[in-house]
C-alpha cells in the first residue's frame, strides 16, 4: 500500500512538472516582439570658464640660489596676474618642487664613474580657475613678461555643466522616441509601451589648445587664445514592446 501511494505521488508530481514546462514553453513562444532605438543629441555652448597652470622653472648651482631666483620671479608673476584682472580666489598654489640636476653620463664612462650633482632646479606654479575667459591671453602675456616660463593644462569648461547635460539627455530621448515612431509606422506595428530606457553616455567635450607653452615666443608674439564651444553629447537607448 505504501508502495502504491509513493507511485501515485510521483505521478502527480510528474504531471504538474509537465504542465509547468508546457506553460513556460508557450509563454516563451508568445513573448511580445520588441523594438530598440538609440537617440543622440549634441548641443554646443560657449565656454564660460577656464583653468590653467602658470609656472616658473629656475636653475642654480645651489638650491638656495635656484630658490631665490624662483621666488623673486614668482612674486612678479603673482603681481602680474592681479594686474591682468584676477582676484585672490581665482588662483592658488599649484606644484612646488626642488630637485638636484646630475651630470650627464659620458658615452664611454670609466668603471668607477658616478653622476655628480651640478646644480638644482626649482619648479613653482599657480593653478588658475576663472570665468574671465576673455582675459586668458592677457593673463598669460602679463605672466610671461613677468618671468613665467611654463604655461600648461589649459582647459575650457562650463560653470554649470549639469543643466546643459540634462538638456542634451532630454533631446536625445525625444530623438529616440521620434525614431521609434517612424520605424513603427514604416514596419506597420504599434508601439505598446516602453520596456526599458537607459542612458548610454552623457559628457562634455572641451576644445583643446596646445597643452604646454614656453614663455619666450609667447612673450614676444602675444597669446591669441580662443575659447570656442563646449560640446555636450548624450546617447540613450529605448526599448519598446510592439504589436
Q: In what order do the strands lie in the sheet with 212-213?
A: 91-102, 117-130, 49-60, 150-157, 212-213
Mean pLDDT score, 88-112:
91
Q: What is the rounded distance in angstroms from the CA atom of residue 227 to the CA atom of residue 52?
A: 13
Chain segment 184-201, per-residue pLDDT in tens: 999 999 999 999 999 988
Residue with the three cell numbers 562634455: 204
Chain segment 134-179, per-residue pLDDT in tens: 999 999 999 999 999 999 989 999 988 888 999 999 999 999 999 9
How high does pLDDT run on average in the chain?
84
Residue with the three cell numbers 612678479: 76
Q: Quick one: 68 exposed, middle or buried, by C-beta within 10 A (0-12, 13-18, 19+)?
A: middle
Q: Please name each of the domains of the chain with its CATH number.
A: 48-159 (3.30.70.2970)
Q: Which three cell numbers stand for residue 138?
A: 592677457
- Which H or E element spans position 23? helix 2-29
Confidence tier at 2 by pLDDT (50, 70, 90): very low
Confidence tier at 30 by pLDDT (50, 70, 90): low
- Tell me how far the alpha carbon of residue 53 is from its chain's centroid: 18
Chain segment 67-91, per-residue pLDDT in tens: 999 999 999 999 999 999 999 999 9
pLDDT over 70 at 3, yes or no: no
Task: Give 58's contacts (C-beta < 8 A, 6+ positions apart).
Answer: 66, 67, 69, 70, 73, 121, 122
Amino acid at each position: 500500500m505504501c508502495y502504491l501511494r509513493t507511485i501515485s505521488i510521483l505521478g502527480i508530481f510528474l504531471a504538474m512538472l509537465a504542465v509547468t514546462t508546457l506553460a513556460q514553453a508557450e509563454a516563451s513562444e508568445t513573448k511580445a516582439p520588441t523594438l530598440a532605438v538609440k537617440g543622440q543629441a549634441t548641443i554646443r555652448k560657449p565656454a564660460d570658464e577656464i583653468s590653467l597652470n602658470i609656472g616658473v622653472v629656475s636653475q642654480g648651482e645651489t638650491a638656495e640660489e635656484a630658490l631665490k631666483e624662483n621666488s623673486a620671479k614668482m612674486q612678479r608673476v603673482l603681481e602680474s596676474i592681479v594686474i591682468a584682472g584676477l582676484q585672490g580666489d581665482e588662483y592658488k598654489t599649484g606644484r612646488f618642487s626642488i630637485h638636484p640636476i646630475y651630470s650627464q653620463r659620458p658615452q664611454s664612462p670609466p668603471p668607477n664613474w658616478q653622476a655628480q650633482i651640478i646644480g638644482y632646479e626649482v619648479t613653482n606654479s599657480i593653478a588658475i580657475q576663472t570665468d574671465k575667459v576673455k582675459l586668458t591671453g592677457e593673463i598669460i602675456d602679463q605672466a610671461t613678461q613677468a618671468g613665467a616660463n611654463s604655461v600648461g593644462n589649459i582647459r575650457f569648461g562650463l560653470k554649470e555643466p549639469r543643466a546643459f547635460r540634462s538638456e542634451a539627455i532630454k533631446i536625445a530621448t525625444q530623438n529616440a522616441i521620434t525614431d521609434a515612431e517612424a520605424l513603427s509606422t514604416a514596419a506597420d506595428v504599434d508601439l505598446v509601451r516602453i520596456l526599458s530606457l537607459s542612458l548610454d553616455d552623457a559628457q562634455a567635450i572641451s576644445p583643446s589648445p596646445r597643452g604646454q607653452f614656453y614663455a619666450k615666443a609667447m612673450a614676444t608674439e602675444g597669446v591669441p587664445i580662443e575659447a570656442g564651444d563646449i560640446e555636450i553629447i548624450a546617447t540613450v537607448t529605448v526599448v519598446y514592446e510592439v504589436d
